Structure 1
Amino acid sequence: MRYSSQVKPISYLKANAAEVLANLAEQRQPLVITQNGEAKAVLQDVASFEETQETLALLKILALGNQDVAANKITPVADVVARLRAKRAST
């Protein structure tokens, strides 16, 4: 995704806030806000932000799982199932 068409100065945001928010929700593309010619912030709609956060959480879980595998901190499925069955039988 190219962000070059989604770059606006802060003055544009100030003058067109409602339109900017409507476009963010409709297009679901982030908007780079500049101040004095430098990129200062990125705006995105809430749904896209939530999806990004969920994706990052899943990637973190995968990375932690890969670290456990690399450190040999794993338990065979058969052992886990046996432990769960034993726990269920004792309750």
Structure 2
Amino acid sequence: MQIVDDIKPVTYLKSKTADVLKYINETHRPIIITQNGEAKAVIQDPKSYQDMKNALAIMKLLSFAEEDIRNENLHSEDDVFDTVEKLLEQ
């Protein structure tokens, strides 16, 4: 199935809302809603949305880590665990 199959006009959403919700929850594929031929919204099931948010958060953390490595902002394992232990004691 191609993304073209998941593009629907707003009139389709208005007339088949229950079908759209069933489709996105069963397939976990988002649907792109158009208005006057232009993409205006994406409808997605909650689990896929949360998974996407989690993946973006992990990618952001990896980006920060890569930047720290490039800037040689590094700490030994012992230093990290010592800091964590001190924070937990407070």
Answer yes or no: same fold by TM over 0.5.
yes
Partner of 2:80: 80
**Shift in Å, 1:35:** 0.4
**Shift in Å, 1:39:** 1.1
Which one has a bigger Cα radius of gyration?
A: 1
In the superposition, relative to structure 1, how do residues 26 and 79 fare at CA in structure 2: closer, same or farther (>3 Å)? same
RMSD: 2.4
**Shift in Å, 1:77:** 1.7
**Residues 30-49 of structure 1: matches in 2 within 5 Å?**
30-49=30-49
In the alignment, the residues of structure 2 paired with residue 47 and residue 78 of structure 1 have an alpha-carbon distance, to the nearest angstrom, of 37
**Shift in Å, 1:76:** 1.7
What TM-score results when the alignment is normalised by the length of structure 2? 0.85
Displacement over 3 Å in runs of 4+? 78-81
Does residue 18 of structure 2 align to residue 4 of structure 1? no
Number of residue-to-residue matches in the alignment: 89
- For structure 1, the 5+ residue unaligned runs are none
